[in-house]
């Protein structure tokens, strides 16, 4: 995925001199006149760019090429990025050269003035459009935070990271033999990237490109994830603000609850439906939950995408294909109106509820020894404790900890009464003193099977350690 590049070294020096000589002859006129003349851009592409890039014919293996094919260059790149790249303002795309079989030195590229870069970009966008790419095939305005999270997981699960680098914690990670994707959201046209993802071999055959066994929804999540990279102000779509939620009906939601939800959660939300007896963990007791106090993002995801999507029980199905967006909106409206939680739980959400059970016996699976024996590597200073408090009370994804464990950490959150067993009471010093830092780290990262404790696999390690420091302050 690299534009107009050459290998470094003596051969490149000679080629650069020849190319620059061609540029002097071709661009001897004023740059303003050059920029206004499409014929000059055509000459540049055909006489200079084409010395390395192919602009026609069938796709070939990179091992037969000098640089990436650009028959589809006008569909592939975002205009601003392409102009900046041609001007030398963007980094090279391959950490170890496009032709890594010939050497691992980084590639170099000719730098052009802005008017010439603009003209070449415009020429490619007019004359080198890929007919296989359907405009509008990928709607970037519908990418949700959940898509981003799923895409990040699938990207690693399907080994994309084995060949492509991304940025994590300020460092590039992943295999550097193919194109760097750490800023892919600023670089690629989303429709082209989606078509490429359907089958990379259609573009770069026999070049090490991997065809993943992924469904279209999974591919869309990966593309959504990639299109956020390098775009710090990316605005995620919030489906719970869609027109369907403006038209939500409590009456329709009541019918849906009876037809689908009650088989596990019971007709009155007490977790006693006919399916409950065979399930572990048991279905949530909706009658004890203050649904109007739960984040809409969480409610939407757990119903639309299923329990697995938020680290909860896999017995909770994804209802998106069954009741669709309108049905999800309707049943959430019904839940909010119908279930307000017990008085004790309502008081707990404001920090006024009584402490939970102490000590709190639990048969939690132990973490592996090397993890269980870890100690918190971060200092227990005010900065880390405050960061942990923010995660606990507000920002942890997929759900802030206080929703189950309560604002005081006593297990009396708005969802706490719905869970069996009840959430851990962090205020109980007698219980907490025997739980190691490593054990807490493992449970937060992976969840606790047979309980309502969800997994937080996407939470960075340093945030988990900050969270643990804060939790330690709650014990009495």
Please state the rounded mean pLDDT for residues 447-465: 90
The whole-number pLDDT of residue 344 equals: 53
The whole-number pLDDT of residue 20 equals: 46
CA–CA dist 247, 470 (Å, integer)? 41
Per-residue pLDDT of 42-101, as tens digits, reads 999 999 999 999 999 999 999 999 999 999 999 999 999 999 999 999 999 998 999 999
Per-residue pLDDT of 177-191, as tens digits, reads 999 999 999 999 999
The whole-number pLDDT of residue 356 equals: 66
Query: For the whole model, what pTM was predicted?
Result: 0.80
C-alpha gyration radius of the chain: 28
Q: Which of 90, 160, 86, 173 is CA-nearest to residue 122?
A: 86
Specify which residues 168 forms β-bridges with. 171
Res 3 pLDDT > 90: no
Res 404 pLDDT > 50: yes
CA–CA dist 193, 191 (Å, integer)? 5
Res 280 pLDDT > 90: no
The whole-number pLDDT of residue 37 equals: 76
Q: Which of 146, 418, 461, 420 is CA-nearest to residue 286?
A: 418
In angstroms, what CA-CA distances link 71 with 7, 56, 132, 444? 21, 5, 12, 48
Please state the rounded mean pLDDT for residues 373-397: 96
State the average pLDDT for the chain: 88
For 111-141, the DSSP string reads ---HHHHHHHHHHHHHH---TTSPTTSS-GG
Per-residue pLDDT of 292-315, as tens digits, reads 989 999 999 999 999 988 888 889
Q: Work out the pLDDT band at 476, boundaries 50, 70, 90.
A: confident
Please state the rounded mean pLDDT for residues 122-135: 96
Q: Other CB atoms closer than 10 Å to residue 119's CB: what's the count?
A: 25
Residue owning tokens 């490109």 = 209
Res 272 pLDDT > 90: yes
Please state the rounded mean pLDDT for residues 104-113: 92
Which has more pLDDT, 134 or 16?
Answer: 134
Domains in the chain, CATH or no CATH each: 10-127 (1.10.760), 140-226 (1.10.760.10), 240-341 (1.10.760.10), 351-472 (1.10.760.10)
Angle subtended at Cα 242 by Cα 216 and Cα 390, rounded to the nearest 5 degrees: 90
In angstroms, what CA-CA distances link 73 with 78, 161, 278? 10, 24, 56
The whole-number pLDDT of residue 354 equals: 41
Res 212 pLDDT > 60: yes
Lowest-pLDDT choice from 7-16, 81-90, 118-127, 317-326: 7-16
For residue 115, give the 3-state DSSP assignment: helix
For residue 420, give the 3-state DSSP assignment: coil
Phi-psi region of 58 (alpha: psi -120 to 50; beta: other; left: phi over 0): beta
The whole-number pLDDT of residue 327 equals: 98
Specify which residues 77 forms β-bridges with. 188
The whole-number pLDDT of residue 219 equals: 97
The DSSP 8-state label assigned to residue 391 in this structure reads I
Phi-psi region of 428 (alpha: psi -120 to 50; beta: other; left: phi over 0): beta
In angstroms, what CA-CA distances link 197 with 58, 142, 209, 220, 383? 18, 18, 10, 9, 42
The whole-number pLDDT of residue 2 equals: 40
Q: Is the peptide bond before 398 cis (omega within 30 degrees of 0)?
A: yes
């Amino acid at each position: 995925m690299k534009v107009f590049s050459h290998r470094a070294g003596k051969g490149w020096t000679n080629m650069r001199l020849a190319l620059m000589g061609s540029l002097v002859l071709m661009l001897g006129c004023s740059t303003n006149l050059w920029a206004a003349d499409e014929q000059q851009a055509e000459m540049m592409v055909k006489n200079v760019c084409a010395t390395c890039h192919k602009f026609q014919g069938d796709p070939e293996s990179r091992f037969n090429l000098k640089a990436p094919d650009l028959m589809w260059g006008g569909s592939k790149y975002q205009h601003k990025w392409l102009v900046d790249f041609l001007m030398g303002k963007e980094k090279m795309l391959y950490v170890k050269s496009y032709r890594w079989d010939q050497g691992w030195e980084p590639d170099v590229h000719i730098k052009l003035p802005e008017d010439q870069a603009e003209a070449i970009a415009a020429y490619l966008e007019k004359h080198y459009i890929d007919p296989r790419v359907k405009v509008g095939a990928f709607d970037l305005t519908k990418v949700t935070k959940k898509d981003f999270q799923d895409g990040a997981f699938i990207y690693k699960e399907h080994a994309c990271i084995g060949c492509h680098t991304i940025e994590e914690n300020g460092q590039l990670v992943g295999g550097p033999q193919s194109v760097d994707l750490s800023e892919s959201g600023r670089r690629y046209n989303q429709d082209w990237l989606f078509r490429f993802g359907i089958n990379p071999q259609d573009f770069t055959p026999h070049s090490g490109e991997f065809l993943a066994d992924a469904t279209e929804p999974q591919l869309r999540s990966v593309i959504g994830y990639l299109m956020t990279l390098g775009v710090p102000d990316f605005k995620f779509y919030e489906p719970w603000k869609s027109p369907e939620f403006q038209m939500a009906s409590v009456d329709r939601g009541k019918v849906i609850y009876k037809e689908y939800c009650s088989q596990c959660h019971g007709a009155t939300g007490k977790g006693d439906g006919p399916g409950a007896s065979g399930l572990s963990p048991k279905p949530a007791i909706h009658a004890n939950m203050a649904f109007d106090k739960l984040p809409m993002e969480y409610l939407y995801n757990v119903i639309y995408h299923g329990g697995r999507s938020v680290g909860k029980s896999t017995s909770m199905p994804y209802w998106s294909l069954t009741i669709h967006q309108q049905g999800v909106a309707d049943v959430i409206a019904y839940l909010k109106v119908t279930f307000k939680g017990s008085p004790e739980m309502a008081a707990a959400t404001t920090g006024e509820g009584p402490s939970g059970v102490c000590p709190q016996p639990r048969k939690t699976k132990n973490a592996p020894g090397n993890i269980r024996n870890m100690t918190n590597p971060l200092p227990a200073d005010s900065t880390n404790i405050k960061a942990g408090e923010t995660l606990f009370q507000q920002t942890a994804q997929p759900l802030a900890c206080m929703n189950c464990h309560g604002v005081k950490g006593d297990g009396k959150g708005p969802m706490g009464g719905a869970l069996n067993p009840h959430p851990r009471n962090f205020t109980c010093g007698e219980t907490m003193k025997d739980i190691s830092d490593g054990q807490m780290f493992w449970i937060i990262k992976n969840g606790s099977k047979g309980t309502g404790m969800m997994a937080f696999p996407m939470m960075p390690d340093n945030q988990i350690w900050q969270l643990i420091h804060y939790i330690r302050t709650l014990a009495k």
